[in-house]
Structure 1
């Protein structure tokens, strides 16, 4: 079914129909379209454009369609151009020609963007919930590993000893920023475009504010041309999902390294690994590797929409049909990926002795010497040079920093008294860093407790937002 054609002398060519058709991917907007049409219908009845009796027929038809869409009984066919034409066809089948009355006062231009925003609110909240589950898993593992001291890395080289719980919980901080971005997105984009019509507004929608509130939005967009052409919200959503994908890729990279024979820090549960078709001994960290791989897909989807939008003139253009598939793909992939990574993290078995044995390797305690001298009044630039000389001496003589004799230390600098040896061990180095962001056990536990409090608050915000949109989002 098409929603246009009166001024045309012939039907579209088959190649044109194939190019134009979008129902095979935008059908997932159908539940949201039913909700928007129900609210729109109530406005048509209020304006007496549709009588009460006709409105009741149409309302029943829409509700019946919603039920049949949910059960799969009603779906699109080969003649439907898009989700809008498919639903109007269904309504006409149930209500006769009266079904076409629902189109008064609206355009596909404002309808589709309203559907799309509602879809994104719903699915970004679902993604936020999945992210929170992953953060909770990291926090549990981090608390369990709080007494394990590990080598910390910069440039993938040993740097300084750290609490392994801090290494794990760092991911929770990044994940909570992703959730904050989702909430920011909802706050910034929680305005309805419905009532913009094709681009100039609608005399049949004199109070779009009421429709907006009934749909769960906080208000309306203030310029009807902007309302139908804006896809900032879609690009921003793709950025958020790309950023999530990058964070998941970083998690994946670490688990790939940690599970390697060379590191041997973690055993990935069999349920989250695969084998080889030729090498019977293999156990591959495929969840982690796919997390890395899919990050390219999320970034690619963002780039694709940017290129579509970069020179879009005036109001609606058909180019904007290309906005949905990148979004749908990123949403689908995240909702597949997040539970798998969460399961991998939850079931991971960390090998504490292997993690700890290299904590002091690579002269990672050299900073303790520089800090000790600095606290004794030596300018840090000089203290840094002295610590470097200590490392050079140890490398030449095949010893570790804590194996230097008292006399050797004093030879390096008169302020390097034997007291420095209290700090030339991983426990002393870690426990000395007691600031709010430090790696000491108490600091890390306090940070994890704060994370857990923040997560509890996030759960409440998600519940509140779902309530705000309840009744309007029932896919």
Structure 2
């Protein structure tokens, strides 16, 4: 089969070379963006007088017909045509004849593929932000509806201090909020037009890059043609942001896996997000949470893979850059799938309030409050810390918790204890005593929920604005 670039070659490409170098197996998902970019490019060629308007109209009509066929699933892709660009151009030539060959005037596959990826990733990142907002909303709704529930808080996976379950859920809301901010900022680096850079040095045709940027909704244009065709920073930044986001979801999933175990029993995941065992009929496995946790590794790998590809590439375009796509596509798919599942899993889980009411009374997480109690009585904190440490040891040795002790047992360790110390160690009192900005006290968490609702509304407004652009 004759190649569209085969003029200087005297023999056909080896079949194995064709298969090894072809990217159509994965870059065909850029077809929508490739056609959109081609339409903008050829319209500009007509407006600049580079192509006759009648040719432009015929080419645009052909490209629009290809868009329709693509949407209907009628386009086929052939490895012999290497990549999405050559496949689209071949389809166009088959539709409208030799005039279709004029489409490639003033551009190269190098700036063409860069454009496609900018268009594709800009669209996908905005969708990821939308899905993140849905997950944040699920966290926020869970926090609102469980404001009265207290849960053990941990450090080193050891009971530390009790916190509101809502406070715990809001920690993830703010984590995901930083992910939203990073991705919104990333859009600025994606939103740059590379088309017009040609192979690496620009083009001899009097093109209007500003017109194409406006047609495709780009905020800026690359200032340097060599940078335009070789830049993959925007993909690296996406992969880095994706790795952080997956890490956040993985941390949440780890807690869900623990929380729904018999040993914890804090929550129960909805049946729709669990699976059973092939041999043990009693099992209800948190497979979705485990897979999100596991797929974090592949997203990390995609980031490291592209960093390694780029680390020693000279300017400008090199075939190595073909390796930028599969990891990007995989990360987009992994993120979007995980975000949708996470939102559903969080939004439908059951919090086992009765279990938690019992659990939070069966530890020494109120010990710090007793130390603070002695400090308020005038004892230096380090001495108060030692007294309460001995008190906890006494409880452990006698099979008791702090609330089980009589006042005279307290006074054996310090005469500063009085009857009011029992009020201090009440779990609800312990939680609401932390009434500082960012603390777990009910008024602070309610204020945080209100603030979060405002920020989520702003994110959703940004999402709507982006749809209109």
Q: TM-score of the superposition, structure 1-length normalised? A: 0.95
Deviation at 1:206? Answer: 4.1
**More displaced, 390-399 or 446-455?**
390-399
Distance 1:143 1:305 in 2: 41
1:3-57 per-position Cα deviation (integer Å, ceiling 9, x unaligned): 4222221121111111110011001111111111111111111221210111111
- The corresponding residue for 2:427 is 426
In structure 1, the residue matched to 2:302 is 301
> Cα distance, 1:411 vs. partner?
4.1
How far, CA to CA, are the matches of 1:283 and 1:403 in structure 2?
Answer: 37
- Distance between the aligned counterparts of 1:160 and 1:153, measured in 2? 7
Q: How far did 1:188 drift? A: 2.9
CA contact (8 A) 2:106 2:207 kept: no
Partner in structure 2 of residue 473 of structure 1: none
Structure 2 match to 1:150: 151
Distance 1:3 1:157 in 2: 66
Q: Which residue pairs with 1:141 in the alignment?
A: 142
Aligned to 1:103: 104
Cα distance in 2, alignment partners of residues 135 and 430 from structure 1: 24
Aligned with 1:363: secondary structure?
coil
Q: 2: distance between equivalents of 1:100 and 1:223? A: 27
The answer to whether the Cα contact below 8 Å between 2:240 and 2:303 also exists between their aligned partners in 1 is yes
Which runs of 4 or more aligned residues in structure 1 lie more than 4 Å from their structure 2 counterparts after TM superposition? none
Contact 2:309 2:321 in 1 (8 A): yes
Quote the offset at 1:353 in angstroms: 1.0
Query: Counterparts of 1:310-321 in structure 2 under 5 Å?
Result: 310-321=311-322
Instruction: Describe the superposition over 1:367-401 as per-residue Cα deviations: whole angstroms up to 9, x where unpaired.
Output: 10222233344333333223222222222333222
Which residue does the alignment assign to 1:399?
Answer: 400
Report the Cα distance in structure 2 between the residues aligned to 1:427 and 1:68, rounded to whole angstroms: 63
Which stretches in structure 1 are left out of the alignment for 5+ residues?
469-475
Alignment of 1:89-100 (within 5 A): 89-100=90-101
- What residue in structure 1 maps to residue 292 of structure 2? 291
Match of 2:245 in 1: 244
Please say if 1:128 is aligned against 2:129: yes
Pair 1:173-2:174 in alignment: yes
Are 1:257 and 2:277 an aligned pair?
A: no
**Contact map agreement 2:235 2:328 (CA 8 A) in 1:** yes
Superposition deviation, residue 149 in structure 1: 1.2
Residue 91 of structure 1 contacts residue 99 of structure 1 at CA under 8 Å; is this kept in 2? yes
CA contact (8 A) 1:161 1:360 kept: no
TM-score (norm 2): 0.96
- Match of 1:159, SS state, is strand
Moved more, 459-468 or 93-102: 459-468
State the partner residue of 1:436. Answer: 437
Structure 2: unaligned runs, 5 residues or longer? none
3-state SS, counterpart of residue 73 of structure 1? coil
Report Cα offsets for 1:269-302 as digits up to 9, x if no partner: 1111111111111111111111111111111111
Q: Deviations along 1:59-108, whole A, 9 cap, x unmatched? A: 10111111111111123124221000011111111221110101111111
Which shows bigger deviation, 148-157 or 355-364? 355-364
- The Cα RMSD (Å) is 1.6
Q: Give, in whole Å, the separation in 1 of the partners of 2:385 and 2:3.
A: 75
